[in-house]
Amino acid sequence: MKQYKNVSDVEKQYKFDLEDILQGKKFDYWVEEFQKHLELTLKNKDSKYDNLKNYVESFELGIRTGIISNKISNYINNYTNRELNNPQYKELENKVNQLVDDFNKNFGSETVRFFKNIDKVKSWLDSDELKPYRKLLEELIDEYDHKLDDNIEEYLTKTSKANPNYEGVFTLLTDSEIDYGFVLDGKGKKHKLNPVTRRKYLKSDDKILRKNTVLQWNKSIVKHKESLANLLFQQFKTLNVEAKVRNYTSAVNMLTSKDKVDDELLQILFSKVQSLNKTIAKYRNAFKKFYELKFKEKYHPRYDSSRDLVKVKTEYTIEEMQQIVLDSLKPFGNEYYETVNKALKENWVDYMTIENKVSGAYSIGETYGIDKKYILMNFDGQFESVETLAHELGHSLHSYFSDKNNNFYDSQYPIFLAEIASIFNEEMLYDHLLKTNKNDKFKFQLVEKMIDGFIGVVQRQIIWANYEYSLYDAIDKYTVNESYDSISKLYFENLKKYTNKKLKYEPNFLIDCVNVPHFYYGFYVYKYAIGQLVSNYFFSKYKKEGKEYLQYYINNFLSKGGSDYPLEILKNVGVDLKSDEFYQIGFSYFEELVDEYIKLGNKIFKNK
């Protein structure tokens, strides 16, 4: 697939149209407007609490400021991500950052001001004028029990820039400092190992190369195991201390309080996912059987699990990809379909791989006030690009319906809900392709991808979440220390709950316990598992009830944005995360996939 040298070489229809953000005005116009709004916010920071009228006006000012901020940040960030080496956008970013830094220096702690006036705010809370902002205010009031002394809060605000950046040190160490060296293949030839080549080598037909890749990769990281263990321990300990100081029962309680997630839900989630062990073992055994039939050699799960059992050559043009995705999403009805069509025709998507373009894909955040919910991707002509487009359109259409039906504050849906729509779109894509494709090998490959995706999102993320939960608890109780030996043993004990196999403690192959970036971003990976299970629930309801259910889903899920707490939004569409029925539906979907996989595999890999 062609990689372009410069963005100017890319055909217009394959680039997103970021100038639309500015609505026919110059970028400097929006910066000046932003500055005026920040100055007005500073001027009113205390007087807004004088009376209800002023307070309501402060929210209206906040909305106008937020929309301008969305325009500026999306304009700069998306241009930057397409041309990482273009200094023009860095200059624009510096200009805006200077404004924001000056504002923050003078603005001080809004938390302190809010709680000084909390009695006034409570007396206004039931007024019609504040109705659009009630959820936001209730969230702030709930934080009162966890507020520190005014002087301490002010100090924390002013010194926040000097806080230890454990995540930054981790990223520097794992991205820049670790040299993965070289690996030998079966002919004794050396190959450079890095995160990109690793994936390629693990799929190789050369078993020596596969084995050496696994061993060398682990060896390279294990050299730094004590540094990584100490770093993670300090990160978790810092959050434990903050939770205690702020009167939370635990760090996990502090990190889940905003979503109103309680310990009971987490324990149910951990327990239910452990019940998948039997079905996952059934899939693993089938993979082993098909592997040995295909390659006529013994299967070693540590070295061979990434190898492709079938290779189906599928290449797509952008136009073919667009049509497949459109056809897959047609059941969602007229408005959804036409908005997707509009996105593809009116330059919402930046497709092509360009030198110095950011890798991966995303649908933009902070979309309120921006008509086009932009998508950046790196099209390579493979099936993964088709999946990516369907997935990111799920995010963009969620933003479209959320922004259309909510105010600025309520339109911002949390990460708890963010992956549901995108995974649902993937399931619609798979369903369409399984119905319209007659090639058994393609179907087998697709079902395997769906199964691996489910395991990766549901089981793996819950293993990590359960481990994080246990690590926070163990640090709090002084039953674990900062050594790799101590942390890896705790990880191992956690891992045993998620398999029916008898595991042997091999510390060098437990390096994930200190080498997962997610661990540095708060306690949240369990939300990905919930996203997958909820999308399974929605998809199962659609298959049972037909297209009418999809309109219900649009009206009662996508259109609700962040207008209520995540669990309440889900409850209102019939999803009870504590009920057995919810898990039965999600797991039945997975079990059916495994049965289909075995059926197709038995057809393809016959005993000869």
Residue 545 annotated among the catalytic residues of the structure = no
Q: Active-site residue among 83, 387, 392, 427?
A: 392
Q: Which pair of structure tokens corresponds to residue 372?
A: 């086009």
From the CB of residue 500, how many other CB atoms can be counted at a distance below 10 Å?
10
The pair phi, psi for residue 211, each rounded to 5°, is -65, -45
Longest dimension (CA), the chain: 85
| Measured distance CA(522)–CA(356) in Å, rounded | 30
- The amino acid occupying position 254 is M
Q: Are 59 and 133 in contact (CB under 8 A)?
A: yes
Please give the Cα distance from 401 to 413 (Å, whole number).
Answer: 11
Integer CA distances (angstroms), 166 to 40, 173, 236, 240, 483, in order: 36, 11, 10, 15, 17
Backbone phi, psi, residue 190, to 5°: -85, 140
How would you classify the pairing of strands 349-350 and 190-192?
unpaired
SS3 183: strand
Beta strand residue intervals within 264-370, DSSP E: 349-350, 362-363
Nearest to 309 by CA among 296, 290, 289: 290
Mark out the alpha helices in 25-116 (DSSP H runs): 27-43, 52-82, 87-107, 110-116
Report d(CA 1, CA 95) in Å as an integer. 37
**Beta-ladder partners of 190:** 184
- How many other C-beta atoms lie within 10 A of the C-beta of residue 26? 9
**Cβ neighbours of residue 190 under 8 Å, at least 6 residues apart?**
182, 183, 184
In 219-354, DSSP assigns E strands to 349-350
Catalytic positions are 392
